Amino acid sequence: MTSSNKDFLLGIVIPLKSRMVSNSWHDVTDALSKTLRSILNQTNKQVKTIVVCHEVPGIPLESIESIQFISVNQFPPPNIKGLERKQRQLLYEKDRTQKINIGVKALIEQNCTHIFSLDADDLIHQDFTQIIKNNAHAQAVLLKRGYLNFQQYNVINHTDNFDVFCGSCCVMNASSVYLQRDNKEYTIFEWYSHPNYEQSFKMLGINYFIPEEYIVMYMREHGENISADDDALPTPSLSLSWREIKCIISRITYIAKRYLLAKFRSLSVPKNINSRFGL
């Protein structure tokens, strides 16, 4: 299925983590509200959004016609109790991709011509939909340029390697979103990891376009990122081992350097950037 600009309809699927595995359900739903507001802030309204979740959050935006919530019961929330970080991440990712697949199917059934998987805490620029529409001829739009919002530091940086950091980096033409592997159908979002999208497109012969504009924002370090436990420090105690003390010193030094670098890079970010992303 190819699409003309006249038929264009962007479908956004947002997989939402379960209340059962969140550190703070309030923070999860607050982040989702910001994500949805960035979608509602679009200059081009040819967009439909589906949030796939175990529990439908009680937020005012639920009643808006262009936003649909699908509550799933086909599989339980991931059981991460007592698991190591790597095992937890595998279960988080399985949960995320299952929800994406449900959303993709529903969006295509609702005649969306282009599909975007957006994390429930990331934001899009007010011109996002229009820029995707302007490049609707491509099988894929790869978002290599975007912003990193370090909420812990209140600092925003831009990057030309957005796809390395964040999974909210690929818009697929609905005709190209599925792959056949081992007599089964998979979505691009499920089969390939986001740092490998560009290499995968080249290997598959998928025609892709990279916008010049910075139109997506990765919200980092707010406590609900899957990678958040990477930043955890040992709990202060008089009985800390020398190894734990060295870990604390090393981590604090790393954070200080990271903050100073982020602060310096933020000088080149437009002053009105928050309003452009619905903040």
- Other Cβ atoms within 10 Å of 257 Cβ, number: 10
Q: Give 49's Cβ-side CA count (13 Å radius).
A: 28
Which is more confident, 228 or 183?
183
Q: In angstroms, rounded to a whole number, what is the distance separating the alpha carbons of residues 121 and 259? A: 21
- Name residue, tokens 């009680």: 58
Q: In angstroms, rounded to a whole number, what is the distance separating the alpha carbons of residues 174 and 105? A: 10
Q: Give 110's Cβ-side CA count (13 Å radius).
A: 21
Q: Where are the domains of the chain?
A: 10-227+267-276
Query: How high does pLDDT run on average in the chain?
Result: 86
Q: In angstroms, rounded to a whole number, what is the distance separating the alpha carbons of residues 102 and 224? A: 23
3-state secondary structure string, 16-68?
A: CCCHHHCCCHHHHHHHHHHHHHHHHCCCCCCEEEEEEECCCCCCHHHHCCCEE
> Is the pLDDT confidence value at 28 over 50?
yes
> Is the pLDDT confidence value at 138 over 70?
yes
Q: In angstroms, rounded to a whole number, what is the distance separating the alpha carbons of residues 196 and 179? A: 15
The 3-state DSSP class for residue 219 equals strand
pTM for this entry: 0.84
pLDDT given for residue 58 in this prediction: 86
Q: Which residues pair with 12 in a beta bridge?
A: 49, 116
| Residues 52-106 pLDDT 10s | 999 999 887 666 788 999 999 999 998 888 888 888 888 999 999 999 999 999 9
pLDDT given for residue 248 in this prediction: 74
User: Among 57-61, 161-165, 211-215, 254-258, which stretch is predicted with the lowest mean pLDDT?
Assistant: 254-258
Whether the CB-CB separation of 41 and 126 falls below 8 Å is answered with yes
> Is the pLDDT confidence value at 4 over 80?
no
Which is more confident, 6 or 260?
6
pLDDT given for residue 234 in this prediction: 47
| Residues 186-242 pLDDT 10s | 999 999 999 999 999 999 999 999 999 999 999 986 555 555 444 444 455 556 777
The letter for the amino acid at 134 is: N
- CATH superfamily, domain 10-227+267-276, is Spore Coat Polysaccharide Biosynthesis Protein SpsA; Chain A (3.90.550.10)
